[in-house]
Amino acid sequence: MILARKYSIAPCAPRPQTTLGIFPYDGNIIGGLLLGGGMTLTGACPGTVLVQIATGIRSGYFAFVGGIVGGTLYSMVKPYLVSTSSNRRAGSEVKDVRIEPMTIQEYVGMREERLVLVYEGFLVLVLLLASLTERAENVLFPPVVGGLLIGVGQVASLVLTGSAVGVSTAYEQLGGVTKRAWGYISGRGEKSGPRPAYNSIAFAGGIVLGSWVLSRVLDFKIPGGEAPIADSKAILGGFVMVLGARVAGGCTSGHGISGMSTFSVASIISVAAMFSGGMGLTLFL
């Protein structure tokens, strides 16, 4: 991400905070909690739901339906719900909200290059500790290899599209398309105005296609088998998960993979809220 920005391959701007106007990062915290709770209900994130669809996992279909409903609702209430720190910096009308630093390096006053070394060292320590845990059986690739492949996907996205990976926006775009289509069918649709964007939908379609092809080329079973998730639970989880992701301004891909690699404070807070929401809900299930 840093090299892509340095060599003008892609802007790779840090993810801004989202706020509902209550307190700083409230959108990231509340949205992250909802997202984590939705992931607990569905056993997936907005991105892996697409993989589940491609590989024929039943709960993935229902979680996807719930996600589209959540994306549609968010696209309807977005103008009244969320603002970002980048909007306020550009001179929005949101008042009496303190503008916080967007990145860790702004907070601590450290050069980005040096912070990268510290962060990479921390990740190496995490890998060493993870190697001491019990290894899962029936996996297609070792986790480290899987992580490297995700990194390759990030590079491809930056080079080919100029954007970092992120999935939950696709649900919002699908929601916008659904809302517009329903308006035309019912006769109450807008006859003018900007058309919904489709770039994230295309990216999501690529995930489905790639997963489907891989599942046909390689014969492998789902580790642990398919989780028995009730259809209603999957729909509710998908709805809450996508709504939370959009309120937070990103999901496990946008915040967890892309945002944290730019040292975005909003992304770090969002990911922490995701884990808190998921683990917290697990205690009550």
Alpha helix segments (H runs only) across the chain:
2-6, 26-42, 46-54, 58-81, 85-89, 104-108, 112-130, 143-161, 168-186, 199-217, 231-248, 265-282
Specify the pLDDT at position 246: 94
Token pair for 4: 């892509």
96-145 pLDDT tens trace: 555 668 899 998 888 988 999 999 999 999 999 988 887 776 677 788 88
State pTM to two decimals: 0.86
Question: Does residue 104 sit in helix, strand or coil?
Answer: helix
Domain ranges across the chain: 15-89+168-282
Burial class (CB within 10 angstroms; exposed 0-12, middle 13-18, buried 19+) of 130:
exposed
- Residues 168, 254: Cα–Cα separation, whole Å: 8
pLDDT digits (tens, 9 = 90+) for 27-46: 999 999 999 999 999 999 99
